[in-house]
Structure 1
């Protein structure tokens, strides 16, 4: 807590009393990392000689620790930004889809997929957009990618079967049967 609150004198007292600065908090962060984030350089310098090297810190020095913590914070901020942006794009795409504006919905799903290309739901939704716009091949391609990401998801098989049916391929039966097998209660299958 002293490191997190930037309480320099308390850090000194705790170290003099024999406190162990190598004990992580409940989130796995050591006092020196908390000092680098919330305290001052002086706090990091005080804790440095008493702290065992952290394997994820490439440059084990006061500056190296401070840089490492700043990099972690930046990555978290970037991850949160990406998640929020993907969520916002998905919401906009869903609204466009409800208005039967499949072209704009597909564009928005594509933008979201550029930020998170492992989101099976986005692929499934874009596959349905392609299908509604009459592009069976693109619908099939997205459904196939979706199925690779989530092989036991009935909707992925349903989307693939729907695309195959649209293109008049006999393999549609197999894909739709698998969807029904995975989710017999589904209204889509």
Structure 2
């Protein structure tokens, strides 16, 4: 009986020792996950599924982006092809047909500033200056530093006889491209036309601009002031001759003086 009691006491002591060891076990001694465990297997399966879905979504996004880029390139190529046809028509003097080609090109690539510049030139050749100005302004919105857009704007404004605004447009062309001779020529013409509108003779305007360069300098020049004085004198003291018809030999000079005295 005593031996059995001792054996049972020893077994209880062993149990307490094992329990204490389990409570005091360090993290390093923790058992590893059993990968055959159902919980771990389900977690791993869930992670794999998420990774697979993420890769599939990314692949679809890449495919969509690639298709979109390819579509955009196709649209640009189509627009350029139509533009080439429009240029050929323009060179043949078929301005209305060229307008149609450039308009269709815009439907394929509406953000290409060159299409608007080309169509503006066609409208200018057709003397449709308001439409030419609208297209030129649109090309400038798309490409503010494109000299030709400002040149087209200046030409359209000249057609509309808005010479002061045209002068500013041509000055902007030369700021962007100082070597543009055509803009220099148009700028000079704008200034001549402004002086002519002020009452100067065309040749005189050219001479004064060659000497003083700007409209303001010409207007303030001694030559312009002298011309203004002479013009006023001619206006007030012009021709003093008077022709009277149906006068017979019986009418004397005194009769005429008396007639026109009042």
Aligned to 1:174, which of 160, 168, 171? 168
Work out the CA distance in 1 between the residues paired with 2:84 and 2:161: 32
1:92-107 matches, within 5 Å, as 92-107=85-100
Unaligned runs of 5+ in 1: 1-47, 54-58
Give the helix-richer structure, 1 or 2: 2
1:40-189 matches, within 5 Å, as 49=48, 60=54, 62=56, 64-170=57-163, 171-189=165-183
Work out the CA distance in 1 between the residues paired with 2:156 and 2:59: 53
- Which deviates further from its counterpart, 123-132 or 79-88? 79-88
CA-based RMSD? 2.4
Work out the CA distance in 1 between the residues paired with 2:167 and 2:100: 30
- Matched position secondary structure for 1:152: coil
- 1:80 is displaced (CA, Å) by 2.2
- Bigger relative CO (Cα 8 Å, ≥ 6 apart): 1
Work out the CA distance in 2 between the residues paired with 1:49 and 1:88: 49
Give CA deviations for 1:144-179 in whole Å, capped at 9, x if unaligned.
Answer: 111122222221111101000001113111111221
- Matched position secondary structure for 2:134: helix
Moved over 6 A (4+): 50-53
Work out the CA distance in 2 between the residues paired with 1:149 and 1:101: 27
Count of aligned pairs: 136
Unaligned runs of 5+ in 2: 1-46, 184-262
Work out the CA distance in 2 between the residues paired with 1:114 and 1:51: 43
Work out the CA distance in 2 between the residues paired with 1:51 and 1:77: 30
- 1:66 is displaced (CA, Å) by 4.2
- 1:76 is displaced (CA, Å) by 2.6
Larger Rg: 2
Work out the CA distance in 2 between the residues paired with 1:161 and 1:183: 14
**Residues 1:128 and 1:66: Cα distance change in structure 2 (over 3 Å):** same
Partner residue of 2:195? Answer: none
Give CA deviations for 1:21-40 in whole Å, capped at 9, x if unaligned.
Answer: xxxxxxxxxxxxxxxxxxxx
